[in-house]
């Protein structure tokens, strides 16, 4: 985990700096806007740090994840004198942000007291790690990773707006419309995935509170619809949304690889490194879908299920006895039986 964090921090600091100096230069107005956005990001990040340290709720960045990108993109749109492409990008981000804010709010993420509300369980899991038992170590992690890194990442994946501004004279074209269609499509799939998860959790807790048998809800997490195909379809859609957003910078400049790609790539790395949700569930509740099992087994075709199980135990960092393998039609677990 520490090595992953170090790699992410180094990349966050060095890649944009190198890319800006070796890519097409920014105009004075574009550079000034970028500097303003960086200062704004630092102010927001430090505010999140102070509030989280005072309240011991470390999801302050989560509360702003769907809000500050709207601010960043509209600042650039205004500074560009409402260029058509920049306005389109800002409108799409506003659509994304409104939907994500609603989903976070209905899960209890916000409170009338702004610094209260639900805390992401992953932070509680991480606080139990030996390396974070020291209060100073956790505060440092909170400052540099939870608060500043994540806020910096949010700014980075909105910065295709700055590169798109460089091509302000180029009218909207086919690639712009493709990027917009992709973003809308992935916003729709993210909405469907979140709704499926919400419906599942609502019914699970209704049964718990009513004292009814949980049945197919006993393993704890959704495995229907999009969730039967992809383990985290909402996360996959989130990453795809911002990679699609990057295409606007390509459409404006013709440069398929430019420095604003850093944000999208770092977002993918962050989601890859944050796959600790499996730890939330007790042994016996860790589930491999039929599709995932088939892929894992295919990696060892002809070698038998034992190597497949060993591979998955290594990937998920859990003992063999904690795994149960389900066929989608079954409600009772079998122990890794094909």
Per-residue pLDDT, averaged over 304-331, amounts to 52
How many angstroms separate the CA atoms of 60 and 298, rounded? 42
Higher local confidence (pLDDT), 324 or 195: 195
Per-residue pLDDT, averaged over 113-136, amounts to 80
pLDDT higher than 50, residue 315: no
- The pLDDT value recorded for residue 20 is 62
- The pLDDT value recorded for residue 65 is 94
Q: Are 129 and 1 in contact (CB under 8 A)?
A: yes
How many angstroms separate the CA atoms of 85 and 106, rounded? 32
pLDDT higher than 80, residue 195: yes
Higher local confidence (pLDDT), 133 or 1: 133
- The pLDDT value recorded for residue 24 is 82
pLDDT higher than 90, residue 40: yes
Higher local confidence (pLDDT), 320 or 263: 263
H-helix or E-strand spanning residue 142: none
Q: Can you say whether the dihedral through the CA atoms of 21, 69, 248, 162 is positive or negative?
A: negative
Encode 311-323: b = buried (16+ Cβ within 10 Å), e = exposed: ebbeebebeeeeb
- For the stretch 199-231, pLDDT in tens is 998 998 898 888 888 888 877 778 888 988 888
| pLDDT band at residue 10 under the 50/70/90 scheme | confident
Per-residue pLDDT, averaged over 231-250, amounts to 94
- The pLDDT value recorded for residue 186 is 97
Long-range CB contacts for residues 258-262, cutoff 8 Å, separation at least 24: 258/19, 258/23, 258/24, 258/163, 259/15, 259/16, 259/19, 259/20, 259/23, 259/163, 260/156, 260/159, 260/160, 260/162, 260/163, 262/11, 262/15, 262/16, 262/19, 262/156, 262/159
Higher local confidence (pLDDT), 241 or 335: 241
How many angstroms separate the CA atoms of 223 and 221, rounded? 7
- The pLDDT value recorded for residue 132 is 86
**Which residues on adjacent β-strands are paired with residue 334?**
325
| pLDDT band at residue 189 under the 50/70/90 scheme | very high
Mean pLDDT check: name the lowest of 219-223, 246-250, 317-321.
317-321
- For the stretch 254-283, pLDDT in tens is 999 898 998 998 898 888 766 544 444 444
Domain ranges within the chain, ordered by starting residue: 2-280, 281-338
pLDDT higher than 80, residue 3: no
| pLDDT band at residue 81 under the 50/70/90 scheme | very high
- pLDDT, mean over the chain: 81
How many angstroms separate the CA atoms of 263 and 242, rounded? 8
- The pLDDT value recorded for residue 1 is 53
């Amino acid at each position: 985990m520490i090595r992953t964090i170090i790699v992410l921090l180094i990349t966050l600091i060095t890649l944009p700096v190198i890319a800006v100096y070796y890519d097409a230069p920014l105009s004075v107005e574009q550079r000034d806007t970028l500097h303003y956005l960086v200062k704004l990001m630092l102010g927001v990040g430090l505010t999140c740090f102070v509030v989280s340290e005072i309240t011991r709720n470390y999801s302050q960045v989560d509360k702003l994840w769907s809000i500050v990108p709207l601010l960043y993109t509209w600042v650039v749109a205004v500074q560009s004198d409402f260029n058509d492409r920049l306005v389109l990008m800002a409108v799409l981000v506003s659509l994304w942000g409104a939907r994500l804010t609603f989903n976070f709010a209905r899960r209890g993420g916000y409170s009338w007291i702004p610094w209260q509300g639900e805390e992401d369980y992953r932070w509680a899991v991480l606080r139990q790690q030996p390396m974070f038992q020291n209060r100073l170590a956790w505060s440092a992690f909170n400052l540099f990773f939870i608060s500043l890194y994540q806020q910096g990442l949010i700014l980075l994946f909105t910065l295709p707006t700055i590169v798109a501004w460089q091509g302000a004279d180029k009218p909207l074209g086919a690639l712009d419309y493709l990027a917009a269609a992709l973003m809308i499509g992935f916003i729709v799939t993210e909405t469907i995935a979140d709704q499926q998860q919400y419906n599942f959790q609502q019914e699970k807790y209704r049964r718990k509170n009513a004292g009814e048998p949980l049945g197919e809800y006993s393993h704890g997490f959704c495995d229907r619809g999009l969730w039967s195909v992809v383990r985290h379809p909402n996360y996959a859609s989130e990453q795809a949304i911002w990679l699609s957003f990057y295409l606007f910078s390509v459409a404006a400049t013709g440069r398929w690889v430019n420095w604003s790609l850093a944000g999208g790539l770092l977002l993918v790395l962050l989601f890859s490194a944050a796959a600790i949700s499996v730890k939330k569930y007790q042994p016996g509740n860790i589930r491999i879908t039929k599709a995932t099992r088939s892929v894992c087994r295919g990696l060892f075709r002809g070698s038998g299920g034992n190597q497949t199980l060993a591979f998955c135990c290594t990937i998920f960092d859990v003992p063999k006895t904690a795994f149960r393998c389900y066929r989608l039609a079954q409600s009772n677990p079998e122990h890794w039986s094909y």
